[in-house]
Amino acid sequence: MSFWVQKYGGTSVASTEKLLTVAERLHEQHSQGHRLVVVLSAMGGETDHLLSLARQVSSEPGGSALDLLLSSGERVSIALLALALQALGCPATALTGRQAGILTEGQANKARIKNIDNDRLNGLLDEGQVVVVAGFQGMDESGRVTTLGRGGSDTTAVALAASLGADECHIYTDVEGVYTADPRLVPEARRLEHLTYEEMLEMSGLGSKVLQLRSVLFAEKYNVPLRVLSAFGSGSGTLISKEAENMEQATIAGIAHNRDEAQLTISGVQDMPGVAARILGPIAEAQIEVDMIVQNVGQDGTADFTFTVHRNDYAKALEILEQVGGELGARETCGNRDIVKVSLVGVGMRSHAGIASRMFRALADAGVNISMISTSEIKISVVVGEPSLETCVQVLHKEFGLADARDA
């Protein structure tokens, strides 16, 4: 008999019909003797709906009142699933994050799981119950309800799997697994049988929202085998685990894209020590995270400085930059929200030279202009204009033959 933590995303529990299908499946697995913890998201669209309500009453909703509001979506779905399981004759208990012993730390609306007190969960599992836990939420030291950031139910599931010692963590979603690129953007994208934690970390970190980044970090840290599968299909999905000894590594595992960034530029500043710190210091003090940074030095001894931030921070960052620009006597400060970051990811890239130039050539031939570049051992990212996104991803998918089987 196996012990699984299974997570069902919003689309998988979007209606009572879908919840009933999930309940039947769990009932069957429970009847076969499996030990089951089920983590649920709010019903599809519900978290967005709650957020839009908050925005109707406040221009900048945040803090613990927003946490309380957003956490209510998951309460509805877990209660409905427990009722559905009980109606099928399957013993089930629904627990909020707090009731499940999930203790968090850090900022409101993006709290991190610090510790899980398993006693109650283990007790219920030993009684033979299916335990249904609200994803995306916990409680901080002062007893306040917290939420874990968008997509946070993935992290709840992996953290529970690690803490309870489950055999595998299953993430059920609306696609059949992790693909070589977002299948909504590239119809020929291929499901991957297997990915290493390292590759999935990059894919998630670079924008593939199929798994929240923090969930992959937990899985790697505690060595939890993670499987992404379709909630209503029957395939084996994608297994994310440590690198197997005999694993044949393709050069490129996949392509990630991120639409959540914006680009800012300050040009014509003096090229001298301390200028980069003067520009980025106030941005950091405003708690704005900077991702890519590029500096170009012109022949006239002045420099242009370009960086990216989250789109939500764009207006604030631009305001700060305009002020700094004034102080530094910059020629111009400007920004662009309509950009995307597209990245090639693969541990096999380590041993292959020439990937970057092939990437740039393919994009140039397709008429795609690159405005920023950043590389690491296992990824190459470019920033391009948002209208080029589809072309960019599709051209690269083709150039690197990602539709052809990697494990063949």
Nearby residues of 185 by Cβ (< 8 Å), 6 or more positions away: 257, 389, 390, 393, 394
Alpha-carbon span 330 to 310, nearest angstrom: 23
Least distance CB 354 / ligand ASP (angstroms) = 39
Question: Contact between 237 and ligand ADP (CB under 6 A)?
Answer: no
What mask of x and - would describe binding to Mg ion in positions 117 to 156, judged by CB under 5 A? ----------------------------------x-----
Tell me which of 46, 67, 182, 199 binds ligand ADP, using CB under 6 A.
Answer: 182
Question: Contact between 73 and Mg ion (CB under 5 A)?
Answer: no
Tell me which of 6, 8, 10, 145 binds ligand ASP, using CB under 6 A.
Answer: 10
Alpha-carbon span 318 to 325, nearest angstrom: 10
Tell me which of 101, 138, 152, 335 binds ligand ASP, using CB under 6 A.
Answer: 152
Tell me which of 34, 150, 311, 398 binds ligand ASP, using CB under 6 A.
Answer: 150
Nearby residues of 405 by Cβ (< 8 Å), 6 or more positions away: 190
Q: Is 225 exposed, middle or buried (0-12, 13-18, 19+ CB in 10 A)?
A: middle
Tell me which of 9, 101, 135, 152 binds ligand ADP, using CB under 6 A.
Answer: 9
Residue nearest to ligand ADP (CB): 9
Please say whether the beta carbons of 107 and 101 come within 8 A.
no
Select from 171-179, 280-288, 295-303, 377-385 the region that touches ligand ADP (CB under 6 A).
171-179
Cβ count within 10 A of residue 362:
16
Least distance CB 78 / ligand ADP (angstroms) = 15
Alpha-carbon span 222 to 216, nearest angstrom: 10
What mask of x and - would describe binding to ligand ADP in positions 34 to 63, judged by CB under 6 A? -------x----------------------
Alpha-carbon span 342 to 292, nearest angstrom: 12
Q: Which of residues 40-79 bind ligand ASP (CB under 6 A)?
A: 41-42, 47, 73
Question: Contact between 11 and ligand ADP (CB under 6 A)?
Answer: yes
Q: Smaller CB distance to ligand ASP: residue 158 or 395?
A: 158
Q: Which residues pair with 263 in a beta bridge?
A: 308, 336
Q: Tokens 């209660």 label which residue?
A: 79
Residue 285: phi, psi to the nearest 5? -60, -30
User: What is the full DSSP assignment across 166-190?
Assistant: -SEEEEEESSSS-BSS-TTT-TT--
Select from 11-19, 148-156, 163-171, 294-302 the region that touches ligand ASP (CB under 6 A).
148-156
User: What 3-state class would DSSP assign to 323?
Assistant: helix
Binding region for ligand ADP (CB under 6 A):
9-12, 41, 151, 173-175, 178-179, 181-184, 208-210, 254
Binding region for ligand ASP (CB under 6 A):
9-10, 41-42, 47, 73, 135-136, 150-154
